[in-house]
Amino acid sequence: MMVDKLLLRTALRHPGPATATVGLQVLVTMTYLPQAYALAQGLFAVVERDDDRALTAALWIAVIVAARWLLSWIQALVAGRLGADVRLSVRDEALRGVLVPEALHDPGRRDGGLRTALVDGVDGADAYVTRYLPALAQAFVLIPLVTVLLVLVHPLSGLAAGLAALGALTAPLLWKRLMRRRSDDHWDTYEALGSDLLEALRGMATLRLLGQVGRTRERMAERSRALHRATVRVMRTSLLDTALIDLAVQGGTVAAAGLALVASVGRTGVPPAELYLALMLVSEVFRPIRDLSAAWHAGYLGTSAVPALRRLGVGAQHATSTSGPAETDRAGSPSAALVLDDVSFSYPEGPAILDGVRVSFAPGAVTAVVGPSGAGKTTLLDLVLTHLSPTGGRVLLDDRPVRTSDVAVVSQRPVLFEGTVRENLLVARAHASEADLWQACAAAGIEQEVRSLPAGLDTPVASAGASLSGGQRQRIALARAVLSERPVLLADEPTSALDPASARTVTATLARLAADRIVVVVAHREESLDGVERVLELTDGRLTPLLLERSHP
């Protein structure tokens, strides 16, 4: 038995689908009880040559089989809904854990491990609550019920079967700690292999240039061998469990059936119908255990993923998720100012990156922040985005702490998701109308290009936006920022991937948005400052106004 409190709580957050999934599973398996009775009556009728009684039993069996098929179909639908709810809730919690400042700046966290937890770990949680938990619940409900029925029909057989079933359920507890330790090792090895593989694929061109392909291949081979060894250790423990469970099931079946047969030896003539029923019920006592064994892999997938999900914060946030202001609340005043009030920041045991920055950003004009590489421009953005917390001072919007939901971002390398252009835009505002989408595209200067695509807004976008040019990705990201209607817009070198004409369009769009939003551009190139009236230079941890020398015709 693998009972995990985190996964159990996750299932109970969806009481309706969870109760229906478990209840229907129990009902499906309970249909074997009237079927066993009908079979016993049918066998007795055949021996007695009672054709009418045999036909009645056959009809009842057909009705029961049809009912079981219908219940199984409904149960599969409900379990699918429960699985979807669980996947969404676990993934949402995990993503919130990934996006906290500590996780975003954790140098030990690897993308491959995150991918493994967010995909395979979430799928494991789904399998656990939709397959293993219902099988476990039906074992606890039906084994005592069928054992009692068997005791009423044949006491000695019922006692033998009940003791054997108890042994089959408790045998895995002997190896629970060992199995937990080995499953943790297996998952860690699996995560490490996934991380190495993802990083090697990303840097394949660099590895070839450096002549490190062979070395990387050897490291992958060693990771694969380590995963194989971890898998074999888990399988050995699992085989021991299986052997003990099978011994209890087979031994209990033989003992219970033998006791029933021995009790009928002294009787003459045709064996009574009670004997047939006892033999049928002996099999039904162990059916839930066989179903539980079949669902073992689903349970193992779920419980082995739990440590990785816990590291992402799954389960830790639920109790506090309703505290504090709603994340979707936005600033009520369109003239609100973004204020850095004596803001300082430094990493632990590191030098000060920002040192007492005092500056105010207000709507009305685009403000650019420039400075040499390493001056702290990215840190400044992370503080406004709340990805980092200042070590001193405050970041305020309209006299309150700024929130992530206040800020829209257009990064130098914009992130687009696999889906359609429409879906990538709706990330910013889920209920935006068709007209809103086209207006945002027009503002970003990409309306005509989107209209010329094969399916317009419904044109598929490849993973990471690979099917679009760099300029198209940049402007779709800008359209998404426009659509968000957030009071603060941060742009990190927004024209870096654009041709001159497209760059002018984006610059003009930012200038228009600055009329009623706070627009801050981080610039690394001089041409990014075209049309920018206010420029601040970040040097030695402080922001100072910079006067630009502009040429006049």
Q: What is the pLDDT of residues 181-214, one digit of tens each?
A: 788 788 888 888 888 887 787 777 777 877 888 8
Range from 32-41, 166-175, 330-339 carrying the lowest mean pLDDT: 330-339
Q: For residue range 136-147, what is the model confidence (pLDDT) as tens digits? A: 999 999 999 999
Helix or strand (DSSP H, E) at 545: strand 542-545
Diameter of the chain measured on Cα atoms: 121
Residue 103 burial class via C-beta count within 10 angstroms: exposed 0-12, middle 13-18, buried 19 and up: middle
pLDDT at 497: 62
Q: Rounded CA gap, 285 and 303, in Å?
A: 27
How much is the average pLDDT of 512-526?
79
pLDDT at 321: 42
End-to-end CA distance of the chain: 82
pLDDT at 332: 43
Asked if residue 281 lies in contact with residue 149, where contact means CB atoms within 8 angstroms, the answer is: yes
pLDDT at 203: 78
pLDDT at 24: 94
pLDDT at 550: 47
Residue 27 is which amino acid?
A: L
The distance of Cα 505 from the centroid of its chain, to the nearest Å, equals 38
Range from 82-86, 236-240, 427-431 carrying the lowest mean pLDDT: 236-240
Q: Is the pLDDT of residue 529 over 70?
A: no
- Considering only residues 497 and 390, tell me which one the structure prediction assigns the higher pLDDT: 390
> Which part of the chain has CATH 3.40.50.300?
338-546
Q: Rounded CA gap, 134 and 126, in Å?
A: 12
Range from 7-21, 75-89, 294-308 carrying the lowest mean pLDDT: 294-308
Structure confidence at residue 29 as a pLDDT band (50, 70, 90):
very high
Q: Rounded CA gap, 510 and 290, in Å?
A: 65
Q: Is the pLDDT of residue 327 over 60?
A: no
- Considering only residues 543 and 38, tell me which one the structure prediction assigns the higher pLDDT: 38
Q: Residue 350 corresponds to which tokens in the numbers above?
A: 């590191």
Query: Tokens 């973004």 sit at which residue?
Result: 338
Return the percentage of the chain with pLDDT > 70, whole number: 89
Q: Rounded CA gap, 125 and 130, in Å?
A: 9
Give the helix ranges, DSSP H, for 203-347: 204-210, 213-263, 273-294, 296-311
User: In sequence order, what E strands does 378-531 have?
Assistant: 392-397, 400-401, 407-410, 419-420, 460-461, 488-492, 518-522
Q: Is the pLDDT of residue 237 over 90?
A: no
Q: For residue range 67-90, what is the model confidence (pLDDT) as tens digits? A: 999 999 999 999 999 988 888 888
Q: How many CA atoms lie within 13 A of 370 on its CB side?
A: 18
pLDDT at 325: 39
- Considering only residues 411 and 355, tell me which one the structure prediction assigns the higher pLDDT: 355
pLDDT at 62: 94
Q: Is the pLDDT of residue 549 over 70?
A: no
> Which part of the chain has CATH 1.20.1560.10?
5-312
Q: Is the pLDDT of residue 173 over 70?
A: yes
pLDDT at 210: 77
Q: Rounded CA gap, 121 and 100, in Å?
A: 20
Query: Tokens 């009672």 sit at which residue?
Result: 50
338-546, CATH topology level:
Rossmann fold (3.40.50)
Length reported for the chain: 553
pLDDT at 454: 87
Structure confidence at residue 551 as a pLDDT band (50, 70, 90):
very low
pLDDT at 330: 45
Looking at every residue in the chain, the average pLDDT score rounds to 81
Other CB atoms closer than 10 Å to residue 534's CB: what's the count? 17
Structure confidence at residue 104 as a pLDDT band (50, 70, 90):
low
How much is the average pLDDT of 131-159?
91
* CATH architecture label of 5-312: Up-down Bundle (1.20)
305-333 core/surface letters (b: 16 or more CB in 10 A; e: else): bbbbbebbbbbeeeeeeeeeeeeeebbee
Pairing assessment for the beta strands 534-539 and 367-370 based on DSSP bridges = parallel
Structure confidence at residue 159 as a pLDDT band (50, 70, 90):
very high
